[in-house]
Structure 1
């Protein structure tokens, strides 16, 4: 009996030590992201400024308001005029630079707080997280309550799938009643959106749509192969994700432009539906097949180490083996990517509301940086610079009520703004390194933004990321 008691005591002691080690490890990682905390006494924490001598690109119309002034008061755009007289406010000389709305990435996967700085550094001042977990509720609360420098965040709950599509990255629904219960729970817990995924059959999907409508919560759809593609045009579904799903599900891999026109016409008739192409994530498959050292490249150094170790390496090995076993694979992927450009061109011509999303945070699609690759692909698809910029500003503001105060430079809108050295309507690369950004009126200069990049580069939080991911699985599964 004494031996058993001694053994139990040893086990209990070991468990306590393990828990303490885990707590300390998580605390240390949290401490390392203190650089994002807003010091209420710092200059950067102010949210009232007068910007003078600035060329405003308002984005609700195709124009430039030259040599204007913009008054930001309490984080809101208060006035835009040729001349503004006001006392006791800090004046910022715009130096004849260009002012645009902050960029919005409508399809990201956030893995840690380091990534928040990467988005800001690249001019992304709002994001839509589409792989929701409990940790995102905590991050969203701190970001949206002004405790940390971060983009404005909205997030889905866990991805909803049917009973057959097994995986630790989604939640399997077994029946309509369970679907309704989950949506009610996600709404109560603070998730902003519902994400539907592969494997939802008509019966369960109907229940998801019905309850989402009752709970007044928008749906974002990664199309399910269990229902017709047109099924995703229900008014409760505010956006459809991925151009490749048009190829893979609607067209069954048949790269036929006549069949594509039928699909595009169907989408365009649904005036409430936005489309997020996420071209760069598929383009990166091609990049992985062409570059055997891509995992050691500079951009990948900014990926979360757990994702790099698991997902990035797994994807690379998959496509490395594919090209070695199939001599036509590279050409086939390249042709499908070109067809994705055709899809974007067709969506645009049909007046579908295209919203910029990158799928950042998985594979080798780097948070923040990848939005500029995505926008450049829209340019390749035939959109003008102004039309490209709309996909990451005003178009997202039409998709969800959460973003309706963003996306344009107008009086009464939230002051999420970028100061650019050159005109992005002439050169889109101007967006990649804003000299200054304003997030809810708080000013961050280029030196500060560069420091966010340095902190996130080659970070060593693999174990902490794994602990958090396991914790999420325990809570959600």
Structure 2
């Protein structure tokens, strides 16, 4: 039966349907549109050429529907998928794209449909092209250029030239790291605005949060700079003793300064990439050897896992990650995260993968749990992975919700994620750019990756 005949009253209520290109019909699903918290119960989604063409309520009067590509959702819940908006995509060393392609499948298998890679390389431009063309399966990819830091930036003029070069190369974003001086930051800001490319990242100590926000940081990664901005004005930071991200100074924080910082963040429209799980795992007091045993570590190369163990163990041996220092710092970060969120500062879902013990895709579910533990509602958590990333990329009319005319990027799960966050850890299926991947296909790809990295 042609799809022209499958919709009741189609000529009267829906208008004529013109079937062209690749089509997909998913029936018997409940839709978490993310255009508010309402769930559309018992609907069908008709996809043409990678876009949602029709969303159809099903009832007793709806005729049987058919399609060459028909998926019975069997009561599944559909939502727009998740984001990893602080990723570090592998580099295609020696021409091998294996790790890049594996990362794409690790994200898809966990329902992550959009990523922002924050430490770019020219091979990432090629990866983005292959994914967008459909040659390589994967989530939507946005690429930051190589880092602006104390080693890569030598003067304001040279920093400005770096901005122009990265824009010309086709990167989507600029990444700021520690070591950038204040005069260099202002030149980066001015040039980036002139060529229309967003920037953000860490807050260099010489720049400070106030100047970072004023310069136009579109995103502050890791909530960096807020602790330092809350310290007494006369306190001199000694990085050799203050610990990673100055965590040992958390007892000096003056929280009465926080409302002013929040107001400035709101005024500048800056987004926050909190990466709670990075700090819980990398800078937390749980030993490195415990994280080595996590089941998802089997999907990454053994030498990389060992490198992570070595990195964290070194901090442990130095006494930097003792519970007496780390526990108050992590509690402060949770409090800061919730205060920023409840004040209306937009949060983008991010976990910093693959970084220390954060495996692509899997780490997003660790991030979700920590956001929930901090007090964020399920609906707001889902927004950080769908609506807000689309707004960040100025693509809110194209993706981030499940609406007619938007991209057919969504995930099927067995329970309502607004009520059960854990259901998102086991996708029944994923639709990416209108292409359906069932649970069996996703599992097959995970098994291939596991075999590639069997420990010998």
TM-score of the pair, normalised by structure 1:
0.79
Give the alignment partner of residue 314 of structure 2, picking from 300, 312, 318: 318
Which digits, 9 at most, give the CA deviation of each residue in 1:107-126, with x for residues without a partner? 01111221111000000011
Kindly indicate whether the alpha-carbon contact (under 8 Å) linking 2:276 and 2:367 is maintained by their aligned counterparts in 1: yes
Kindly indicate whether the alpha-carbon contact (under 8 Å) linking 1:187 and 1:215 is maintained by their aligned counterparts in 2: yes
In structure 2, stretches of 5+ residues that fail to align are: 1-20, 91-98, 232-248
Mapped partners of 1:201, 1:421: distance in 2? 50
Kindly indicate whether the alpha-carbon contact (under 8 Å) linking 1:307 and 1:363 is maintained by their aligned counterparts in 2: no
Change (3 A) 1:87 1:291: closer
Give the alignment partner of residue 23 of structure 2, picking from 28, 48, 56: 48
Mapped partners of 1:49, 1:190: distance in 2? 32
In structure 1, stretches of 5+ residues that fail to align are: 1-45, 167-171, 463-477
Mapped partners of 2:354, 2:338: distance in 1? 26
Give the superposition deviation at 1:296. Answer: 4.0
**2:11 match:** none
**2:444 match:** 451
Give the alignment partner of residue 263 of structure 2, picking from 259, 262, 265: 265
Give the alignment partner of residue 108 of structure 1, picking from 58, 82, 87: 87
Give the alignment partner of residue 384 of structure 1, picking from 356, 372, 377: 377
Structure with more of its chain in helix, by fraction: 1
Kindly indicate whether the alpha-carbon contact (under 8 Å) linking 1:221 and 1:232 is maintained by their aligned counterparts in 2: no
Secondary structure in 1 matching 2:183: helix
User: Superposition pairs for residues 175-254 of structure 1, below 5 Å?
Assistant: 175-234=155-214, 236-248=216-228, 250-251=230-231, 253=250, 254=252
Kindly indicate whether the alpha-carbon contact (under 8 Å) linking 1:103 and 1:407 is maintained by their aligned counterparts in 2: no
Secondary structure in 1 matching 2:412: strand
- Residue 98 (structure 1) aligned with residue 83 (structure 2): no
Of 86-95 and 194-203, deviating more is 86-95
Change (3 A) 1:207 1:256: same
**1:161 match:** 149
Give the superposition deviation at 1:230. Answer: 1.7
Give the superposition deviation at 1:316. Answer: 2.2
Kindly indicate whether the alpha-carbon contact (under 8 Å) linking 1:47 and 1:443 is maintained by their aligned counterparts in 2: no
- Residue 338 (structure 1) aligned with residue 331 (structure 2): yes
Which digits, 9 at most, give the CA deviation of each residue in 1:223-257, with x for residues without a partner? 11111202222474221110354224554633443
Mapped partners of 1:292, 1:461: distance in 2? 18
Mapped partners of 1:427, 1:81: distance in 2? 25
**1:76 match:** 51
User: Superposition pairs for residues 290-309 of structure 1, below 5 Å?
Assistant: 290=287, 292-309=289-306
Change (3 A) 1:70 1:132: same
Mapped partners of 1:332, 1:109: distance in 2? 28
